[in-house]
Structure 1
Amino acid sequence: MSAQDSTMLDAASFSTLTVTESPDRLHAQLDRPEVRNAIDARMITELHAVCAHLEHHPKVLILSGTESGGKGIFASGADIAELRERRRADALRGVNSTAFERLAKLPMPVIAALDGYALGGGAELAWAADFRLGTPEVKIGQPETGLGIIPAAGALWRLRELAGEGIAKEILLAGRILDAQEALEHGLLGAIHPTEGLLDAAHALADRIAKQDPLAVRISKQVFAMPREAHPQIDNLAQAILFESEAKFDRMQAFLDRREAKAAAKTESTSGENR
């Protein structure tokens, strides 16, 4: 195995996720089509493995679903048969919430590419991402109270932050399921793409992120997540770190060189026209 290969996940070791990895990104596809990608304990374990890998080898994560019954689906929720048997001790362990919080805190951005149903735990997995892209077929919401429980893996606080209190309460307390356009209007989707173009759009967003300085992206994500009272002191400390980075000098010099070359080309063009 080469040195580069040793930093890659062993895709063959996963059974609920299909993992594809390149030097600057990892694509994890939820892959339990027989149960509409219901999130079970095995999938949570595998999401932890993905997080552990990306904590040591930071790169963009793309999450997507698969097809079930000829239709795209992100995740229909937690595995109800498994969830029904969980008791108080399981709830206190925060089985899903621990994994989703770990995913939200990954060093580099997380992109959720949503198609079809993203319900319950599937929606909470999407809320933990930094970006959410969807197709016109998206149906997203939190039906937990109809099953006698609460959405305890992040929705009860992330939804208010993402979309505001009014629509959050409709989703959480009245079981409202949003379609793609409604999710877009409330800021819960960043964009809507045709089904066949969804992953291309996710990779295009990953391409844009990859063009930025990785350390600046990582620090920006960390500072963004800080509470209001940490600012502006945390911003100043973060900027102090970046002001000493080699990438800052190289990228700014490259910018100045391009500007100088452009100005020189414009001057030469003008001189030629006046001759």
Structure 2
Amino acid sequence: MTHFVTLDVDERADRVVVTLDRPAQRNAITTEMIDELHAVCTRIEADPKLLLLTGRGEHFAGGADIGQLRTRTRHDALAGINRILFDRIGRLPLPTVAAVSGFALGGGAELAYACDIRIATTTARFGNPEPGLGIMAAAGATYRLPQLVGASVAKQVLLGGHVLDADTALRTGLVLDVVEPGNHVDAAHQLLDRIARSAPLALRLTKTIINSPGTHPFADDIAQAVLFETRDKHDRMTAFLEKK
């Protein structure tokens, strides 16, 4: 991939590892970072791979850059600058994992919510303090967080200003696992190693159907029909039976 200013991008055979790289600013999300994340999405969409997203230093992302946010107008809001990116990350073909340490606040929390699975350290804190700054969490939190943790907990965060610590995030299902600080990226890689052993097309179709609104039994049938005819399915089941 090209050179990035706000990101460290490591493209591997089966995954792309993206590290938000503004540690002195708690990896605050800027318009430049948004543009660079769009470039990463373009690459992954063209050549589907797993994604691991994390932050440099003690924090995942402390939110959007307030200096930039203060100057945004209603025209910027209507353009959905952050929301469009996070929706795009949510639609990436293969599974995405966020490895979260420290603060995931505001836009940083919404970026983590956009990933399929989250792994946290004991220091992780998820929150959306936007109303205290005169705005709302408008980059996906209002529809993603209720799906992840339920409407009641989402309202506690989005309306009550409650910050979810790592234990609460685990108990409410927001994160898959909680590990000691410094171990979250390795834990995310271990999860991705397990995911990578599955059939890519099966993962892609499953994610597409999960993310589709409503119930879709016929879509399940069609996707399964496609998978039943693949060589990958035949080879995997043959290997399973021979091993058994």
Range into which the TM-score falls when normalised by the shorter chain:
over 0.9
In the alignment, what sits opposite 1:85? 71
Whether 2:209 is the aligned partner of 1:219: answer: no
In the alignment, what sits opposite 2:222? 237
Q: Distance in 2 between matches of 1:124 and 1:221?
A: 19
Higher relative CO (Cα under 8 Å, sequence separation at least 6) belongs to 2
Q: Distance in 2 between matches of 1:22 and 1:147?
A: 39
Letter in 1 for 2:144: R
Matched position secondary structure for 1:149: coil
User: Superposition pairs for residues 1-275 of structure 1, below 5 Å?
Assistant: 9-10=1-2, 13-67=3-57, 72-229=58-215, 231-259=216-244
Matched position secondary structure for 2:53: strand
Deviation track 1:113-163 (CA, whole Å, cap 9, x = no partner) reads 000000000000000000000000011100000000000000011111111
Q: Distance in 1 between matches of 2:243 and 2:173?
A: 36
Pairwise CA distance, 1:34? 2.0
Please provide the CA RMSD for this pair: 0.8
Matched position secondary structure for 1:54: helix
Q: Distance in 2 between matches of 1:245 and 1:154?
A: 35
- Percentage identity across aligned positions? 50
Matched position secondary structure for 2:189: helix
Q: Distance in 2 between matches of 1:245 and 1:92?
A: 43
In the alignment, what sits opposite 1:3? none
Q: Distance in 1 between matches of 2:217 and 2:142?
A: 28
Pairwise CA distance, 1:211? 0.3
- Point out where structure 1 has 5 or more consecutive residues left out of the alignment: 1-8, 260-275
Pairwise CA distance, 1:35? 1.2
Matched position secondary structure for 1:19: strand
Runs ≥4 residues deviating over 2 A: none
Q: Distance in 2 between matches of 1:144 and 1:15?
A: 26
Deviation track 1:91-128 (CA, whole Å, cap 9, x = no partner) reads 01100000000000000011000000000000000000
Matched position secondary structure for 1:73: coil
Deviates more, 1:33-42 or 1:97-106: 33-42
Normalised to the residue count of structure 2, the TM-score between the two structures is: 0.98
Pairwise CA distance, 1:228? 2.3
Q: Distance in 2 between matches of 1:197 and 1:178?
A: 20
Deviation track 1:170-228 (CA, whole Å, cap 9, x = no partner) reads 10001111111111111111110111211110000010011001111111111111222
Letter in 2 for 1:153: A
Letter in 2 for 1:168: A
Deviates more, 1:188-197 or 1:132-141: 188-197
Q: How many residues in Structure 1 have an aligned counterpart in Structure 2? A: 244
